[in-house]
Amino acid sequence: MRVAVTGAGGRLGRALIDALGEAPFTGLSGPLAWTRSAFDLDQPEAIGALLERDRPEVVIHAAAWTDVDGCAREPELAMRRNAAATGLLAQACAGRGVDLVLVSTNEVFDGRRTDGLGYRPDDEPRPPNPYGRSKLAGEEAARRAYAGPAGRAQLAIVRTAWLFGPGAPDFPSKILAAAERARAAGEPLQVVADEWGNPTYVLDLAEAIVELLGSGKLAGTHHVVNGLVASRADWARDVVARAGIAVEIVDVPATSWERPSRAPRWGVLEPTPLPSGEPLRPWPAAMADYAPRLLRARAVSR
């Protein structure tokens, strides 16, 4: 199976390339890594020629503009990158009978529910910010493309949340840096305690997407997240404890800082079953695997 990955230079893209490289169904040549030089969200018209050149059977669309504050400052640009570019990609893939896996976000939901349940795929999306609106528009554009004469091609929408792992600074690495600054200043570390989500290890998400591909049963909307729910403050305490940094953590509301964008207060997704029937492990177990790499990278950067 020839599998192409957009955004192959990003956090999730690199994890997908590694996971696909170990999958038996990708063959000796392995996956096609489409970095920004191959597929640019600002120049998506080139996708037709790219599909004709590389002839993938499946495209995993991991490329996105995920700067939520940037999206709030430039909502039209967010729509072009996360919605219009996705629509062009989906049309080109559907027209050629190519399966598409579109990676989306928990921020298509407004986070206002108070029943303690995670959002299901059939819950009505109500994005609370421009980033979420642009990603939902991308989902809708892809569904329209695959509702037409797409033959036997399948569309999978994979929503996830709070990704962490190797790559550009993630929440754990930012918390470590902030904790060290607070300790040096003799001050407590203030962390938002009224936003909840599913911290999700990018390597686990990549393996789950590979499992979906290997099953041949892609079609539908999938919520793929690690197990258990956490607030930002819960997660920060876990990270700081693993690093052994002696600093007090003080819970504060999200309104403590002015930002162009606001995340959903309850950004929790209910995981959907994977083909194996096995859920992703709880996020603290994933953090235990990630922590040594995180701490080594932190030591090198000092």
Within-domain flag for 116: yes
Residues 260 and 188 in one domain: yes
Residue 273 within any structural domain of the chain: no
**Does residue 252 share a domain with residue 204?**
no
Residue 275 belongs to a domain: no
Alpha-carbon distance 300 to 58, whole Å?
Answer: 38
| Shared domain check, 214 and 140 | yes
Note down the domain range covering 83: 3-162+198-223
Quick check: 302 pLDDT over 60? no
User: Percentage of the chain surpassing pLDDT 90?
Assistant: 92
pLDDT value at residue 151: 63
Residues 188 and 52 in one domain: no
Residues 36 and 139 in one domain: yes
122 & 89 share domain? yes
The C-alpha angle with vertex 66 and arms to 252 and 115, in degrees rounded to 5, equals: 50
* pLDDT above 80 (res 171): yes
Arithmetic mean of pLDDT over the chain? 95
| Residue 277 within a domain | no
CATH code for the domain in which residue 237 is found: 3.90.25.10
283 by DSSP, 3-state: which? helix
For 157, the enclosing helix (H) or strand (E) is strand 155-160
Q: Which amino acid is at 153?
A: A
pLDDT band of residue 61 (cuts 50, 70, 90) is very high
Asked if the model's pLDDT at residue 175 lies above 70, the reply is yes
Taking residues 98-114, what's their average pLDDT?
A: 97
- Report pLDDT digits (tens) over 207-228: 999 999 999 889 999 999 999 9
pLDDT at 301 over 70: no
Q: Which residue among 119, 131, 201, 290 is the active-site one? A: 131
DSSP label at residue 129 = S
Residue 158 has pLDDT above 80, yes or no: yes
Whether residue 203 is found in the same domain as residue 193: no
Query: In terms of domains, do 78 and 7 share one?
Result: yes
User: Residue 241 and residue 110: Cα distance in Å, rounded?
Assistant: 31
pLDDT of residue 93: 96
186 falls within a domain? yes
What mean pLDDT is predicted for residues 112-121?
96
The whole-angstrom separation of Cα 17 and Cα 256 is 39
Same domain membership, residue 234 and residue 219: no
Does any domain span residue 105? yes
Q: Could you give the number of structural domains in the chain? A: 2
Confidence (pLDDT) at 226: 98
Please give the Cα distance from 210 to 212 (Å, whole number): 5
- Cross-strand bridge partners of residue 266: 196
**Tens digits of per-residue pLDDT, 133-151?**
999 999 999 999 999 665 6
- Active site annotation includes 201: no
User: In the prediction, which pLDDT does 217 show?
Assistant: 85
Cα distance between the two ends of the chain: 43
User: Same domain for 67 and 212?
Assistant: yes
In a domain, 57, yes or no: yes
* Degrees, nearest 5: CA angle 233-237-243: 145
Residue 276 lies in a domain: no
List, for residues 228-287, the tens digit of each pLDDT value: 999 999 999 999 999 999 999 999 999 998 899 999 999 999 999 999 999 999 999 999
144 and 258: one domain?
no
